[in-house]
Structure 1
Amino acid sequence: MQVGSDLHVGLLQRWRPGQDRNLVTPLRGYSGFPHDQCKDVDVTGLSIRMSLGAPDRDKAVAFAKGAIDPGPLFEEAQRLRDERTGRRITYSRKVFIPLTTLCMDTCSYCTFAKPPGAGGEYLEPEDVLAIARAGERFGCTEALFTLGDRPEDRWPQAREFLERHNCGSTIEYVQRMSELVVAETSLFPHANPGLMSDQALSSLRSSNVSAGMMLENISPRLMEPGMPHHNCPDKDPLARVATIEAAGRQKMPFTTGVLVGIGETTEELVDSLFALKDLQAGHIQEVIVQNFRAKADTRMRREPEPTPDYVRRVVAVARWILGPDMNLQVPPNLSEQYEVLLESGINDWGGVSPITIDWVNPEQPWPHLDRLREKTEASGFELVARLPAYPEFLTREWLSPPMLERARRSSDDSGYALISIPA
């Protein structure tokens, strides 16, 4: 679909009412982050002492940019978080299963996807099971399946692998490997395969307690030439919105989120958060705010990373927009002083593995769980393990009967994970 089409304009106008300018005029020439030339919101007249009130786009942009004192924002973000979850911070003890590093997309910031002959391949069933069993020995409860998006649409090697394994698609292979993990271990699969149809989500629901896909950003401008999602059809925000909506129809507990610092404007970032708020149909269990980290051997290796202060403000804005009922996560391995993000209103650290690397950010090791607990408790919080599906989703409405029974056996009376490390 052509970027700048009527559908894309309508998509942006859905979350940006009253904007008269051409919403999808591309900003030619990626000049790093943030874009100083993008000044959609006039913040000069906003009072430094203004009351937060209901979430408002102009105020949110001003807070994120640091144009006004963020102190009241941080206070409100913490109040909203404490209103529902109190002083409890959760995490999911996981193993990371990189089911395939083949992908049809070529995002400018990604080192996970690789072509055939340069590391791009699928894991065999025995490899999947070996990783899952190792995680079980270390008390993990989540098997995170992360993979490239629809590699069979680009690579003949992917089609050949799937044919050898009697699978018609990569999604079908995800389903089979999820079923294998459920049959052979005590782990709970969480699928993160990219775009998914209603049919795909329905097929995964019998063996996955949750699934995920980052929205990343609502603006199609990031698909323009020179931008990070150019020639990446699966990053079309229309398609990603469709997947999030399908997850709601299929009653799949869903994790999504935004990327910070990949070339978006602050306005586009705030619009993306409002979009996620609007897409909530009860099924979005968690929103991740993930900051960009420059990686060697990528086209964005020399691009500046968002500053820690900017990330803190954006996370607090996310809490303000999304409210007290949304679980809000920041990955602890992507910030040197991750504990300060507790001041921005997060209530979750996401999946943390005691044995596998973060294959999406391999240069950023997970904090040791003892260190994570120490820093969390030093900030006045209790660290609690959860399943990949949050406690409020462990019900008949959200889980298939077999997975619900499995979840009840693996959780306490409050729905948090029972961690068992075999001797």
Structure 2
Amino acid sequence: MLSKLAHHALEQDGLGPIRDKVLARERLTDAEALRLFEAKDLAALGALANHVREERHGDLTFYNRNVHLNFTNVCVASCKFCSFARPDDRAASEGYTMSLDEAVNHVLSKRDLGITEVHIVNGLHPDLGWEFYLEVPRRIHAAWPELRIKGYTAVEIHFFAQKFGKSYEQVLRELQAAGVETLPGGGAEIFASRVRRKLCDDKATAEEWLEVHRVAHRLGMKTNATMLYGTIERLEERVDHMRRLRELQDETGGFQVFIPLAFHPEHNMIGKAFPKPTGFDGLRTYAVARLYLDNFDHLKAYWVMLGERLAQTALSFGVDDLDGTVIEERIYHMAGAKTPQALSEGQLHRLIRAAGRVPAERDSLYHVLRVHPAPVAA
């Protein structure tokens, strides 16, 4: 229920008609989404997004027990915002590539932690063979068949298709046969061609990223979607990015969750020109996303990137998912993230409960495994 105070604040800000459309469950236009980005009262905007969040999920906040596998950071692309990739694997350049055994054992060694998902993302290595990319999930799946494998971004899929002379469908079918079940949402950045020309012009285009996900959805694979914010993009380009995702979701229904990702300025080519986005910008981005992306079930605040406190606050701005335990994440920590390398399940529970929400453990497909109400006091 939207409070009278929020109703009044939105009315005073000229957002009454948008508020009424949201409450009537009507779709917002791009112009209305842009207007929401310009809202003066952040709390009222958050209250409207929270209304939608609670209509969908009540107080449940989802998480999973996952481990990240980044078996190489060697990459042929030169994205100016990236702090993870290195041009080669010489020690002096901080590049690395795990052996096949090292990559597989990195995951299998976590079996006793109750992990339910492995999240695989890497650089675009110029020399690794296609069989290596298949053998990593194949061996993990053979040794731990109940573990769900979320692996390889659309940018990686595009790279594999080009490098190994395959179609997107061939790449995805072979990965499915090796045990990969879902795709992460990385590499989307901002779809606007103006931005991509300046920041990441030597990897998959927006159209190619979307086509990989379209093909994956056609093959029955569920996928995630991201948006990098806080560099040179304009607010209308954020809306354009979300519009393209919403249109593909209308077409396929294959996206599970939208994940806005804040730019981290350390150890990359543009960090000195762009400070880290403010908490205000992050919260309004989550709120607008929840209101505009009416065909996405879930909105995730990636606590590794956002920080624990701001991620917790985002649970009142439309967010219903905090990702998971995220054991041994490298990409954001190489960009200067000061968050822990992992959170225990108990720490996630305390974080969620302190925000007045109820922890719900999920798997990669958002099947609820367990709900954890607060313990009853003796």
TM-score, with structure 2 as normaliser: 0.80
CA distance in 2, matches of 1:123, 1:351: 24
Residue 288 of structure 1 aligns to a residue in which SS?
strand
CA deviation string 1:176-219 (max 9, x = no partner): 21010111134221102443212212222230221123322220
Residue 54 of structure 2 aligns to a residue in which SS?
helix
**1:161-310 alignment to 2 at 5 Å?**
161-162=128-129, 169=130, 172-185=131-144, 186-195=146-155, 196=157, 197-206=168-177, 207-214=179-186, 215-224=188-197, 227-229=198-200, 231-234=201-204, 236-280=205-249, 281-310=252-281
Shift of 1:269: 0.3
TM-score, with structure 1 as normaliser: 0.72
Structure with a larger share of its residues in helix: 2
Shift of 1:352: 2.7
Determine the structure 1 residue equivalent to 2:294: 323
Shift of 1:223: 2.7
Shift of 1:124: 1.3
CA deviation string 1:331-358 (max 9, x = no partner): 11223422110111111112432x4133
Contact 1:129-1:181 at 8 Å conserved across structures: yes
**1:257-406 alignment to 2 at 5 Å?**
257-280=226-249, 281-323=252-294, 325-336=296-307, 337=309, 338-353=311-326, 355-362=327-334, 363-364=336-337, 365-366=339-340, 368-369=343-344, 370-391=346-367
In structure 2, the gaps of 5 or more residues are 1-11, 22-26, 158-167, 373-378
Seen in structure 2, the aligned counterparts of structure 1 residues 324 and 299 have a Cα distance that, compared at 3 Å, is: closer
In structure 1, the gaps of 5 or more residues are 1-44, 153-157, 163-168, 392-413, 419-423
Shift of 1:60: 1.3
CA distance in 1, matches of 2:283, 2:328: 27
CA distance in 2, matches of 1:250, 1:301: 42
Whether 1:83 and 2:55 are equivalent positions in the alignment is yes
Shift of 1:48: 4.6
Determine the structure 2 residue equivalent to 1:35: none
CA distance in 2, matches of 1:351, 1:106: 29
Seen in structure 2, the aligned counterparts of structure 1 residues 202 and 351 have a Cα distance that, compared at 3 Å, is: farther
Amino acid of the structure 2 residue aligned with 1:204: L
Contact 1:148-1:194 at 8 Å conserved across structures: no
Q: Which moved more, 1:367-376 or 1:308-317?
A: 367-376
Seen in structure 2, the aligned counterparts of structure 1 residues 290 and 245 have a Cα distance that, compared at 3 Å, is: same
Seen in structure 2, the aligned counterparts of structure 1 residues 373 and 250 have a Cα distance that, compared at 3 Å, is: same
Determine the structure 2 residue equivalent to 1:103: 75
Contact 2:184-2:225 at 8 Å conserved across structures: yes
Shift of 1:72: 4.2
Residue 274 of structure 2 aligns to a residue in which SS?
coil
CA deviation string 1:381-421 (max 9, x = no partner): 11222222222xxxxxxxxxxxxxxxxxxxxxx55599xxx
CA RMSD of aligned residues (A): 2.4
Whether 1:59 and 2:29 are equivalent positions in the alignment is no
Shift of 1:301: 3.9
Task: Give percent identity, aligned residues only.
Answer: 21
Residue 149 of structure 2 aligns to a residue in which SS?
strand
Whether 1:137 and 2:117 are equivalent positions in the alignment is no
CA deviation string 1:350-387 (max 9, x = no partner): 2432x413334333234633333212101111122222
Shift of 1:221: 0.5
Shift of 1:241: 1.5
